[in-house]
């Protein structure tokens, strides 16, 4: 018999966070989170997402063993301001037992009905900067710190329980040696002169911090038209600054400014921490942070995390300026492989950016929806 237990304290929250460590203990492709960071993400006293949202966490037990988990999330900004009556679910993991999945998702639906919402969708987080989507293709590729991994049977469970595909995301890779360098350099010179722009590249974190608020303003402006968009609040900005700044090599953040020093484009790339995270097993101490620090400096794989361009400058070649700057940094750090993290499959404007990169799709993931 399956029993659901709602998480009520820090000890139980740690069980919630660490359940996947058991579920994926034999997987070569699952990448564990940093346990302390994951606990903070799911704690109302740590994560400012809870100022505009609420979340309840459930563990499924069978024969006194944890066999599944789910987070039921209500984003009030999305519901009240955007009029999107969505019940979110995320942090979904389960053994291969359809009854466990059904019990967990029925609980999410129950909460959605209590709030008079129209449908449930997941796996998703609190906002666009959280992980989202269940993997549907590419199970034999290592995960990343910015994505969820899951067993193939998750998709069968969703479909069996009446969920339909809502959104699809793609992840792709390309070899650094295939970058059309000459084209970037040529277009870079033309764009800088034509629009009186200037690139911003940095070697110190302290040089980046003064520009982060402008970057988040541009992020909200750039991504506002996407169907998944929920604005990032000021407290969330501060939270994400602290959360990610130690993971980002300052030379992997690029800005473009106009003649009045207004930011018109930005891009963030992460070094791959996948293998280092697997070695740390979710723990920073005693030696985990040293492994991450080493990966930050020596990883040969770069993950393209975010790119944003002011709508006024879209389709005008500004990304050539960004890629020209990245080319310099990638040579310095010996980058060999580039990965594009999840992008909506129907975001044609984003795909145009990469049309000359000889990319290969390596993963697909989807969110799933069911009417209440």
HEC string for 178-197: HCCHHHHHHHHHHHHHHHCC
Q: At a CB cut-off of 8 Å and minimum separation 6, what does 241 contact? A: 209, 212
Could you tell me the pLDDT band of residue 228, with boundaries at 50, 70 and 90?
A: low
For 277-300, what is each residue's pLDDT tens digit? 999 999 988 888 899 989 998 999
- Domain segments of the chain: what residues? 2-170, 174-364
Q: Does domain 2-170 have CATH number 3.40.630.30?
A: yes
Q: At a CB cut-off of 8 Å and minimum separation 6, what does 33 contact? A: 17, 145, 277, 282
- In terms of DSSP H, where are the helices of the chain? 10-23, 35-41, 76, 98-114, 153-160, 181-195, 205-208, 212-223, 234-244, 274-280, 288-298, 318-333, 348-353
Query: By three-state DSSP, how is residue 250 classified?
Result: helix
Least confident residue range of 89-93, 175-179, 208-212: 175-179
Least confident residue range of 133-137, 173-177, 275-279: 173-177
- Compute and round to an integer the Cα radius of gyration of the chain: 21
Domains 2-170 and 174-364 share a fold: yes
For 328-369, what is each residue's pLDDT tens digit? 999 999 999 999 999 989 877 777 777 778 889 999 999 999
Q: Domain spanning 174-364: which superfamily?
A: Gcn5-related N-acetyltransferase (GNAT) (3.40.630.30)
Q: Residue 245: is its pLDDT beyond 90? A: no
Residue-level pLDDT at 268: 93
For 257-274, what is each residue's pLDDT tens digit? 999 999 999 999 999 999
Mean pLDDT, residues 3-14 taken together: 97
**Tokens in use for 268?**
């963030």
Query: By three-state DSSP, how is residue 69 classified?
Result: strand
Could you tell me the pLDDT band of residue 227, with boundaries at 50, 70 and 90?
A: low
């Amino acid at each position: 018999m399956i029993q659901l237990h709602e998480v009520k304290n820090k000890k139980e929250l740690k069980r919630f966070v660490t359940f996947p460590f058991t579920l994926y203990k034999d997987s070569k492709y699952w990448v564990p989170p940093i346990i302390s960071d994951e606990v903070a993400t799911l704690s109302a006293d740590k994560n400012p997402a809870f100022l505009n949202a609420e979340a309840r966490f459930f563990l499924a037990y069978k024969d006194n063993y944890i066999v599944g988990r789910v987070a039921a999330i209500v984003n009030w900004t999305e519901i009240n301001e955007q009029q999107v009556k969505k019940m979110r679910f995320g942090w979904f993991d389960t053994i291969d037992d359809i009854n466990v999945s059904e019990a967990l998702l029925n609980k999410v639906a129950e909460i959605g009905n209590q709030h008079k919402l129209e449908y449930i969708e997941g796996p998703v987080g609190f906002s666009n900067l959280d992980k989202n989507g269940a993997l549907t293709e590419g199970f034999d590729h290592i995960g990343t710190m910015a994505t969820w991994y899951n067993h193939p049977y998750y998709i069968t469970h969703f479909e069996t329980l009446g969920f339909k595909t809502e959104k699809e995301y793609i992840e792709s890779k390309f070899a650094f040696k295939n970058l059309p360098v000459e084209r970037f350099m040529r277009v870079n010179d033309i764009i800088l002169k034509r629009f009186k722009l200037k690139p911003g590249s940095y070697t110190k974190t302290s040089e980046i911090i003064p520009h982060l608020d402008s970057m988040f303003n541009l992020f909200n402006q750039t991504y506002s038209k996407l169907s998944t968009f929920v604005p990032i609040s000021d407290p969330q900005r501060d939270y994400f600054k602290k959360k990610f700044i130690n993971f980002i090599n300052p030379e992997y953040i690029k800005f473009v400014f106009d003649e009045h020093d207004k930011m018109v484009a930005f891009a963030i790339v992460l070094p791959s921490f996948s293998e280092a995270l697997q070695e740390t097993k979710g723990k920073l101490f005693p030696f985990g942070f040293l492994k991450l620090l080493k990966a930050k400096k020596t990883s040969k794989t770069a993950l393209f995390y975010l790119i944003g361009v002011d709508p006024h400058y879209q389709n005008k070649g500004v990304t050539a300026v960004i890629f020209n700057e990245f080319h310099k940094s990638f040579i310095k750090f010996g980058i060999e492989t580039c990965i594009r993290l999840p992008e909506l499959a129907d975001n044609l404007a984003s795909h145009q950016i990469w049309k000359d990169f000889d990319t290969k799709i390596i993963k697909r993931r989807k969110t799933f929806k069911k009417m209440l």
